[in-house]
Structure 1
Amino acid sequence: MDRTVSPGRVRGALTPPCSKSYAQRALAAALLAEGVSVLRNVEFCDDTRSALRCIETLGAHVTRMGDATLSIEGGLRPAGRVLHVGESGLSTRLFTPVAALHSAPMRIEGEGSLLGRPMGMMAEPLRQLGARVEDNDGFLPIEVCGPLRGGEARIDGSLSSQFITGLLLALPRAAADSTLHVDRAVSTPYLDMTLDTAARFGVEIFQRDYAEFYIPGRQHYRPAFFDIEGDWSAAAMLLVAGATAGEVTVRNVGMLSRQADTAICTALVRAGAAVTSDERQVTAAARPLRAFEFDATHCPDLFPALAALAAAAEGESILRGTSRLTHKECDRAEAIREEYGRLGIEVDTPEQDVMRIRGGKIRGGRVSSHGDHRMAMSLAVAALRSESDVVIEDAACVAKSYPAFFEELEKIKIR
């Protein structure tokens, strides 16, 4: 599906979907709890649906209570032998260790761009912790068979924190205590979210500088009431829209969140936008924008939003952390360079881990989302400042995280 976005000013208040990162962690914890947990403010985007399929296959009984509330009766009693994770990288790396808690073999299958994303980092640590793994040369589908015993394992954390999250949530249920030695951990705010989720379900995990994690075994997850906060990755797109094309207030988000993408506010301030906040909402308003520098190594999902911000800023902005972009839904560094180039914005990656974006006039035209939800949203935000319409190919991919994004953007346009 193509989507045409016309230039225009925006003003208004929006509530983004819930944090799918928190939602998937909470779904896994609710599965592992014996009893009934209640999750509120659940947005049924594609990634959350993938996680729901996983926990139901693994034994949870899920009941919808209204449009955004779930009642989940936990219990790891697999009802099938195949986990369908869709295109969700987090569900893959989260539920593979959880599935390995059980003594029956479980096959993990994905689709689309996920089939080309590396999963080989999971095999050896899982084997060290007691599971059998058939890893298909490092790509899906893979098969695991437990139970995880616990023990010690070493993990390369330089590519993603998602598999570490899976182990941290699974290993409290192992028979023995565990110690994870992590080399070069990235996206550490996401690990903070994992520890927070575990604690809210009554589980203790100890860590030292994100390099060593100690997980006592034989723990029991307690059922919990979990009100899931708004998604800062989605909020970042809306706030950049406000900073570049008017004023936008984003509700159900707070600056004290553990989500990594609260860092967008630092970038907005550096670029000269006006940012105000209170406990439950944040507002960004347009001011003359200047070039800025920002290191997104620990918040790589911000890159597409940062690209839209840099395109609107006068001068050359410098973004660091491009090495984190290769294995997303697409090669995001290359996609940003190519698609923003089509809109008349010069993007260069002249050295390792660095992207330079020279702001300027946005021209209309046809661009591709590369099947990447964050690229589609980024290009739509950039289009607000374009000289003519921008047509975004395969725009329906926003369903992965923010199904109503285009409709919401239209709501706040000033007519």
Structure 2
Amino acid sequence: MDKTVPPGRVKGTLTPPCSKSYAQRALAAALLSEEVSVLRNIEFCDDTRSALQCIETLGARVRRVDPTSLSIEGGLSPKGCVLNVGESGLSTRLFTPVASLCPTPVTIEGRGSLLRRPMQMMFEPLRRLGVRVRDNGGFLPIEVCGPIQGGEAEVDGSVSSQFITGLLLALPLARRDTSLHVRGAVSTPYLDMTLDTAARFGIEISQRDYEEFYIPGRQRYRSTYFSIEGDWSAAAMLLVAGATAGEVTVRNVSMLSKQADTAICTALVRAGAAVINEEDSVTALHRPLRAFEFDATNCPDLFPALAALAAAADGVSVIRGTSRLEYKECNRSEAIREEYAKLGIEVDTSEEDLMKIRGGKVRAARTQSHGDHRMAMSLAVAALRSDEAVEIEGAESVAKSYPGFFGDLEHIRV
């Protein structure tokens, strides 16, 4: 689907979808409880639907209470031997350890760009913890057969924290206690989200500096009532729209959230935007914007939003952490450079782990999302400052995390 986004001003209040990162963690935890949990404020983007399909395949009995609430009776009792994770990297790395609790073989398969994303960091730790793994040269599909036993393992956390999340949620049900030694953990706020989710379901996990995690075995997940907070990754796009083209208030978000992408507010302030923080909402207002420096190593999903912000700022902004971008839905570093060049914005990625963006006038162009939901949203936000309409090819990719994005953007036009 192509989308044409004309320039214009925005002003209004929006509520983004729920955090798909929290939603997928909560769905996994609800599966691992043998009681009934209720999850509220669930919205069904593609990635959340993939996680929902996984827990149903693994034995959860799910009932829709209302359009945004689920009642989930947990209990591992696989109804099939294949988990289809769609294009969700988190579901892949989360549900592979969860499936490893099962004493029968389970195959994890996906589609699209996920088939090119590396999975080899999971294999050796799982084997060390007693799981039989049939790999596919480091990529999906893979087969695991448990039950995972616990014990001691070393995990490479330098590419993604998602597999560590999967282990932290699965290992409390292992027969033995587990000590995980993590090398080079990145995106540590996402691990805080995992620990928070586990604690809400009654699970105890201790950690030291994100380098060592101790998970007692033979624990029990308790049922809980879990209201999923708003998604800061989506909120970041809306707040950048306000900072660059008007004024936007985002509801159902809090700066006290453990989500990594609350850091967008730091970048907005550094760039000169006005940011108003209230109890359950954040507002960004346009002011003359200046170049800024920002380290996105622990919040790589912010890069596309930061690109739209930097494009509107006077001078050269410097964003650190491009090494985290190669294995997303696309190589986001290259995609940002290529697509923003079409808009007349210079993006330099020649230095290791750095992206430099020279702000300036945005011109009309035909752009591509590269099949990446965050790229599609970034280009749409940048288009608000264009001299004429910007076309975005592959705009349907927003369904991965924010199906209503383009409708919401139109809703706040003035």
TM-score by length of 2: 1.00
CA distance in 2, matches of 1:362, 1:33: 51
The corresponding residue for 1:335 is 335
2:209 paired with 1:209:
yes
Report the count of equivalent residues.
414
Matches of residues 385-404 of structure 1 in structure 2 within 5 Å?
Answer: 385-404=385-404
SS in 1 for 2:66: coil
Matches of residues 313-324 of structure 1 in structure 2 within 5 Å?
Answer: 313-324=313-324
Unaligned stretches of 5+ residues in structure 1: none
The corresponding residue for 2:108 is 108
The corresponding residue for 1:170 is 170
SS in 2 for 1:377: helix
Code of the aligned partner of 1:100 = S
Per-residue CA deviations over 1:161-183 (Å, capped at 9, x if unaligned) read 00000000000000000000000
The corresponding residue for 2:350 is 350
CA distance in 1, matches of 2:370, 2:149: 41
Off by >2 Å, runs of 4+ in structure 1 = none
The corresponding residue for 2:77 is 77
Q: CA shift at 1:259, angstroms?
A: 0.1
SS in 1 for 2:318: strand
Code of the aligned partner of 1:177 = D
CA distance in 2, matches of 1:93, 1:388: 42
Q: CA shift at 1:369, angstroms?
A: 0.2
The corresponding residue for 1:295 is 295
The corresponding residue for 1:26 is 26
Q: CA shift at 1:365, angstroms?
A: 1.2
CA distance in 1, matches of 2:400, 2:393: 15
Matches of residues 235-314 of structure 1 in structure 2 within 5 Å?
Answer: 235-314=235-314
Q: CA shift at 1:96, angstroms?
A: 0.2
2:136 paired with 1:136:
yes
CA distance in 1, matches of 2:278, 2:134: 49
2:56 paired with 1:56:
yes
CA distance in 1, matches of 2:386, 2:146: 54
CA distance in 2, matches of 1:61, 1:122: 28
Code of the aligned partner of 1:171 = L
SS in 2 for 1:153: strand
Code of the aligned partner of 2:117 = R
The corresponding residue for 1:183 is 183
CA distance in 1, matches of 2:349, 2:75: 48
Q: CA shift at 1:350, angstroms?
A: 2.3
The corresponding residue for 1:122 is 122
CA distance in 2, matches of 1:303, 1:54: 29
Per-residue CA deviations over 1:346-379 (Å, capped at 9, x if unaligned) read 0001211000000000001100000000000000
SS in 1 for 2:137: helix
TM-score by length of 1: 1.00
CA distance in 2, matches of 1:334, 1:135: 29
The corresponding residue for 1:368 is 368
Q: CA shift at 1:56, angstroms?
A: 0.2
The corresponding residue for 2:381 is 381
Code of the aligned partner of 1:118 = P
CA distance in 1, matches of 2:363, 2:236: 23
CA distance in 2, matches of 1:284, 1:98: 40
CA distance in 2, matches of 1:319, 1:42: 32
**Sequence identity (%):** 77
CA distance in 1, matches of 2:151, 2:278: 44
Q: CA shift at 1:239, angstroms?
A: 0.1
Code of the aligned partner of 1:205 = I
SS in 2 for 1:392: strand
